[in-house]
Structure 1
Amino acid sequence: MSPRGVAIPDLRDRLFAAAERVVAREGAAALTSRAVTAEAGCAKGVLHTHFAGLDEFISELVLDRFARSARHAEELSGRVGHGRVADNLAEVALALLDSLDPAVVGLAMTRPGASLHTRQALESGAPGFAAMQQSITGYLEAERQLGRVAQDIDAVTTALALVGAVHHLLMTRSPDAPLDARDTTERLVALLLGDGSQRVHTS
């Protein structure tokens, strides 16, 4: 437990990780500000000192994970010409799919305050699905110039379809069936690339 008045390094990350552990272990109903701070080993009032309330905290957790996925998608630019295109895209898509526990997503969608805060942040330019789509579009256009994808591929629409589908899976999948969503994502990547006969190799 940190003494009063002593700054806690990486507090946001610590609270976010604690929240994810609480949800994974006990379910969404167990996520309270007190449960989070207890799990994180912080004073009871710390969460409300840094966030307006639990709704904002949940929203900021979701936005943080979206931003992390957007940064991961940016790394595609360094993979141009390397590896299989389907593998590179699948890795990014699956990273987004695995970025949040379905129960956390459910909280962000069903709590009006959290949902509103998330939507307003994304509309204001917080990194999320639009940034991922832009990174994937740029990657596909670069791979097309190298002849590693079909010359007639519509990079913008393909990126939109991939990000939109994974977004749908992320927001609607059941905690009891994550593997079905992963399989769907891999098959979608192959379909969008016109590569349905080849398996996507993911670890």
Structure 2
Amino acid sequence: MSPRGVAIEGLRERLFEAADRVLARDGAAALTSRAVTEEAGCAKGVLHTHFSGLDEFVAELVLHRFGAAAALSQDLPSRAGTGGVADNLADVTSAVLSLDPGLVGLAVTRPAAARRVREAWAGGAPGFAAVERAVGAYLRAEQELGRVAAAVDVESAALALVGTLHHLLMTGPADAEASSRARVGRLVRALTGTA
């Protein structure tokens, strides 16, 4: 435990990592303020000192994790012309599919957390829309290089891909990540006409 009144460096990330461990080990129902702070080795009240409550913490954790996945997607357009189209998209799809479905489900079932996430995304925080824009830009760049057929509607393909990721994340069992990746790979090839 950290001494009372002493700032803990990297506390936010430490709490987020602790929450990830609680979710992976015990599931979404076990994610409580106490479980997170105990897992992080912090005083029980630390989470409430830095967040208005568990709902804000869950929302910020979801936004942080989606932000990391969206950040990976921003590099996609610069990768046009290198590697395989499906392979380049695999990194982004894997990042989105690696989000804990329990966490996402928890954020959806806690109205205050869900509202906070929606408001943040509406305000420009990176989420599904940022991934969709990056995938569309990447596919356009590949189309200009002739690696994606000119007939492909890249905006619709990006929407279909991101919509599928959303569907799989929201409805798939937590242990279905590998199967989901294979399904997404087939979808990418079908949408883009690439091997």
* Bucket of the pairwise TM-score, normalised by the shorter protein: over 0.9
Once residues 175 and 129 of structure 2 are traced to their aligned partners in structure 1, the CA distance between those partners, rounded to angstroms, is: 28
Counterpart code for 2:150: Q
Unaligned runs of 5+ in 2: none
Structure 2 match to 1:180: 179
Once residues 97 and 158 of structure 2 are traced to their aligned partners in structure 1, the CA distance between those partners, rounded to angstroms, is: 15
Note if 1:131 corresponds to 2:130. Answer: yes
Counterpart code for 2:27: G
Shift, 1:135, TM fit = 0.8
Once residues 112 and 54 of structure 1 are traced to their aligned partners in structure 2, the CA distance between those partners, rounded to angstroms, is: 12
Structure 2 match to 1:53: 53
Question: 3-state DSSP class of the match of 2:63?
Answer: helix
Counterpart code for 2:181: R
Q: Could you tell me the TM-score, scaled by structure 1's length? A: 0.91
Q: Is 2:93–2:181's contact at 8 Å kept on the other side of the alignment?
A: no
Aligned-residue RMSD, C-alpha: 1.2
Cα deviation digits, residues 99-152 of structure 1 (max 9, x gap)? x21111111111112111111111111111111111111111111111111112
Shift, 1:177, TM fit = 2.9
Shift, 1:78, TM fit = 2.5
Once residues 140 and 151 of structure 1 are traced to their aligned partners in structure 2, the CA distance between those partners, rounded to angstroms, is: 10
Shift, 1:77, TM fit = 2.3
Structure 2 match to 1:86: 86
Q: Number of aligned pairs? A: 195
Counterpart code for 1:40: A
Note if 1:157 corresponds to 2:149. Answer: no
Counterpart code for 2:43: A
Q: Is 1:90–1:189's contact at 8 Å kept on the other side of the alignment?
A: no
Unaligned runs of 5+ in 1: 199-203
Cα deviation digits, residues 144-183 of structure 1 (max 9, x gap)? 1111111122111111111111011111211243333222
Structure 1 stretches of 4+ moved >6 Å = none
Once residues 2 and 77 of structure 1 are traced to their aligned partners in structure 2, the CA distance between those partners, rounded to angstroms, is: 44
Structure 2 match to 1:21: 21
Once residues 63 and 163 of structure 1 are traced to their aligned partners in structure 2, the CA distance between those partners, rounded to angstroms, is: 17
Q: Is 1:72–1:92's contact at 8 Å kept on the other side of the alignment?
A: yes
Once residues 80 and 176 of structure 1 are traced to their aligned partners in structure 2, the CA distance between those partners, rounded to angstroms, is: 32
Q: Is 2:69–2:96's contact at 8 Å kept on the other side of the alignment?
A: yes
Structure 2 match to 1:44: 44
Counterpart code for 1:109: V
Question: 3-state DSSP class of the match of 2:140?
Answer: helix
Alignment of 1:139-154 (within 5 A): 139-154=138-153
Counterpart code for 2:32: T
Structure 2 match to 1:105: 104
